[in-house]
Chain A
Amino acid sequence: MIELLIEMWSFAFMQRAIVATTVLSASVAPVGTFLVLRRLSLAGEAMAHAITPGVVIGFVVAGLSVFSLLIGGVIAGGVAAVLTALLARKTILRSDASLASIYLIALAAGIFILSAAGSAVPLKSFLFGSILGIDDASMILIGAVATVTLVAFAFLLRPLIISTCDPVFFEAQTKRPLLVEQAFMLLLVLNLIAAFKTLGTLMAVGLMILPATTARYWSSTITGQLGLTFVFALSSCWVGLTLSYFFPETPSGPAIVLTAGGFFLVSVLLGPHGFGVRLRKTTPQSTSSIVQTPTEKSPQ
């Protein structure tokens, strides 16, 4: 077993994949944490599908150039966001229905264009990622996106915390409350594109959401959430890539996301904010050190 692991590390493509996913984990962790906290998990999933036609058109026009994928993805993400907001505000559809409609059309269009163009890239690797696809340009893209994301979060963290926890208070405190939301959505699109090569368009958001939801079961502070999300994302990538190496027919995306799913299920059962707390509550509990005013209402 050890020999196999040493052999795995000797391959340049695995070394690239490990480095790329390590950097990617640091980048997607804060984005995923706030996607979950801002109740945008499904919107993130939809956005991952919505950027598909842009990435595909970029690929068909200019090949697997990082620049074309980036431009195509950002344009498609922007168009999807604007169309969704337009439908939700100007027509009878609510935002969830309009978002679902747009992303389904976008995903179908992306797959149709890719197939019609007779792409040399297998559909499976496009949808689910491939560790073989991580070249120098992809590494640079991931590094650049991670740098932009982490620097942006250094400045956005406090506004994001306030606007997520108490949006009405935040709106009253700042002249341009939408700026934070728009910057966050741009970071989401950039990270989806960065994750595209490793995880594929269908699985990219999985590395954001599952580690973040897993961390929710363990930590009750925002710092803990951010740190644990990174740890779970990184562990999922390393274990998932190893699985993908030992089962060569398995695309890397599902292997990584399935590993993240494993961490999630264990955390649901054992985490202090999952079923674990309920199990403990069945045993006699010691008196809390914090005295609660007896006349006050119980938590809602």
Chain B
Amino acid sequence: MADLLKIRNLALGYPGLTLFRGLSMDVTQGTSLAVLGANGSGKSTFVKMLLNLIDPLAGKLSWPNGRPSEVGYLAQLTEFDRRFPLRVRDLVAMGAWKGFGLRGHLSAETHDKITSALEATGVLEIADRSLHTLSGGQLQRALFARVIMQDTPLILLDEPFAAVDQNTEAHLLTLIDRWRDEGRAVILVVHDLSSVLDRCDHVLLLGGGTASFGPVRDILTPERLVSQKYLSESQAAWMFPEASREAAHD
């Protein structure tokens, strides 16, 4: 699979505050990357940089096949207005907004795509319901349907499982697998290690002023998770009991 994005010697932060520096990594088509880190480690800043909302402090980003005109994006729900008078179907249609623009009508093909996206995320039955009547899981499914409508080579999901139950999370993870199989690159910002371990190819661990990138098993070691302040030593010992016993034995 071809590289979608190359990052070299990246430093991110704000004037007077460097969150991390020295990150070099490639994002390849058909892969999924988890971004992990403690609060304030720079996860959201990394997402904003990929969305071109902020510039890096140093380093270089290059897009070998050209920068995509649009990035699939699922934001955190902190600023989402659930009382806005909109139906689920309209929310999903937002994903194709750039296609039909300011005044254009939705084509029959777009309507079909919306129906397919609603079906794929399991919210077709509630397509005509208002947003304020939805549960957290139903809303997140609808937002995943909007990402399907965006139909982009790179997809950013910022804490996609924050307000959903296990069933919904399992369903949404199958969608991520599908996107990866279709050759898209998926970047997920997550807090929970368990949803990452067997699903993502690579992980970017942020914290302690550094950024570590690599295959999941290489990066998510207890030593690194502790040194980059993602876990305390006692948490690491509880989550990785074998590694802890080996360390004690040595």
Asked if residues A164 and B75 are in contact (CB atoms below 8 Å), the reply is: no
- Complex Cα distance, B85 from A216, in Å, reads 9
Encoded as 1 (CB less than 8 Å from any A CB) or 0, chain B from 80 to 121 comes to 111011110011001001100111000000000000000000
- Complex Cα distance, B131 from A290, in Å, reads 14
Known: A173-B98, A222-B86, A297-B165. A167 touches B132 (CB 8 A): no
- Complex Cα distance, B167 from A296, in Å, reads 8
Encoded as 1 (CB less than 8 Å from any B CB) or 0, chain A from 204 to 221 comes to 000000000000100111
In B41-84, the 8 Å CB interface with A consists of: 51, 53, 70-71, 73, 75-76, 78-82, 84
Asked if residues A296 and B168 are in contact (CB atoms below 8 Å), the reply is: yes
Stretch in A60-68, A141-149, A152-160, A242-250 with 4+ CB within 8 Å of B: A152-160
Between A159, A166, A167, the greatest number of chain B beta carbons within 10 A of the residue's beta carbon is seen for A166
Known: A159-B102, A299-B132. A221 touches B85 (CB 8 A): yes
**Contact among B53, B87, B97, B135 for A299, CB-based, below 8 A:** B135
**Contact among B86, B102, B135, B168 for A165, CB-based, below 8 A:** B86
- Complex Cα distance, B77 from A299, in Å, reads 13
Chain B residues with CB below 8 A from A220, complex form:
85, 130, 132
Between B71, B79, B87, B164, the greatest number of chain A beta carbons within 10 A of the residue's beta carbon is seen for B79
Tell me, yes or no, whether A96 is within 8 Å of chain B by CB. Answer: no
Tell me, yes or no, whether B133 is within 8 Å of chain A by CB. Answer: yes
Tell me, yes or no, whether B138 is within 8 Å of chain A by CB. Answer: yes
Chain B residues with CB below 8 A from A295, complex form:
165-167
- Complex Cα distance, B133 from A206, in Å, reads 30
Q: Tell me the nearest residue of chain A to B133, going by C-beta.
A: A299
Asked if residues A298 and B94 are in contact (CB atoms below 8 Å), the reply is: no
Chain B residues with CB below 8 A from A297, complex form:
135-137, 163-165
Chain A residues with CB below 8 A from B87, complex form:
221
Main DSSP-derived SS at the A contact region? helix
- Complex Cα distance, B133 from A220, in Å, reads 11
Tell me, yes or no, whether A262 is within 8 Å of chain B by CB. Answer: no
Known: A168-B75, A292-B135, A295-B167. A173 touches B130 (CB 8 A): no
Asked if residues B137 and A166 are in contact (CB atoms below 8 Å), the reply is: no
- Complex Cα distance, B84 from A171, in Å, reads 17
Tell me, yes or no, whether A162 is within 8 Å of chain B by CB. Answer: yes
Chain A residues with CB below 8 A from B130, complex form:
220-221
Asked if residues A172 and B53 are in contact (CB atoms below 8 Å), the reply is: yes
Tell me, yes or no, whether A71 is within 8 Å of chain B by CB. Answer: no
Asked if residues A166 and B94 are in contact (CB atoms below 8 Å), the reply is: yes
Chain B residues with CB below 8 A from A216, complex form:
85
- Complex Cα distance, B123 from A292, in Å, reads 10
Chain A residues with CB below 8 A from B79, complex form:
166-168
Asked if residues B94 and A162 are in contact (CB atoms below 8 Å), the reply is: yes
Instruction: Number of B interface residues at 8 Å Cβ cutoff, please give it.
Output: 42
Tell me, yes or no, whether B197 is within 8 Å of chain A by CB. Answer: no
Chain A residues with CB below 8 A from B97, complex form:
158, 162, 173
Asked if residues B85 and A155 are in contact (CB atoms below 8 Å), the reply is: no
Chain B residues with CB below 8 A from A222, complex form:
84-86, 90
Chain A residues with CB below 8 A from B70, complex form:
173
Known: A220-B130, A290-B129, A297-B165. A171 touches B86 (CB 8 A): no
Asked if residues B136 and A296 are in contact (CB atoms below 8 Å), the reply is: yes
Asked if residues B82 and A154 are in contact (CB atoms below 8 Å), the reply is: no
**Contact among B75, B98, B103, B163 for A155, CB-based, below 8 A:** B103
Tell me, yes or no, whether A300 is within 8 Å of chain B by CB. Answer: yes
Within the complex, what minimum Cβ distance (angstroms) separates B95 from chain A?
9
Encoded as 1 (CB less than 8 Å from any B CB) or 0, chain A from 21 to 33 comes to 0000000000000
Within the complex, what minimum Cβ distance (angstroms) separates A271 from chain B?
13
Q: Tell me the nearest residue of chain B to A159, going by C-beta.
A: B102
Within the complex, what minimum Cβ distance (angstroms) separates B77 from chain A?
9
Asked if residues A168 and B76 are in contact (CB atoms below 8 Å), the reply is: yes
Chain A residues with CB below 8 A from B91, complex form:
165
Asked if residues A300 and B125 are in contact (CB atoms below 8 Å), the reply is: no
Known: A155-B103, A293-B167. A169 touches B73 (CB 8 A): yes
Within the complex, what minimum Cβ distance (angstroms) separates B104 from chain A?
9
B residues near A, CB below 8 A? Answer: 51, 53, 70-71, 73, 75-76, 78-82, 84-87, 90-91, 94, 97-98, 101-103, 125-126, 129-138, 163-168
Q: Which 10 A-B pairs have the closest CB atoms?
A: A168-B75, A296-B137, A165-B84, A296-B135, A220-B130, A172-B51, A297-B136, A172-B73, A155-B102, A297-B135
Could you write out 21 A-B pairs with CB less than 8 Å apart?
Answer: A37-B84, A156-B102, A158-B102, A166-B75, A166-B79, A168-B75, A168-B80, A173-B97, A173-B98, A216-B85, A220-B132, A221-B85, A225-B85, A292-B138, A293-B137, A295-B167, A296-B138, A296-B165, A299-B82, A299-B133, A299-B135
Q: 15 other contacts beyond A216-B85, A293-B137, with CB at 8 A cut-off?
A: A155-B102, A159-B102, A165-B131, A166-B75, A166-B80, A169-B94, A219-B85, A221-B87, A291-B125, A292-B138, A296-B135, A296-B136, A297-B136, A297-B164, A299-B133
A residues near B, CB below 8 A? Answer: 37, 154-156, 158-159, 161-162, 164-169, 171-173, 216, 219-222, 224-225, 290-293, 295-300
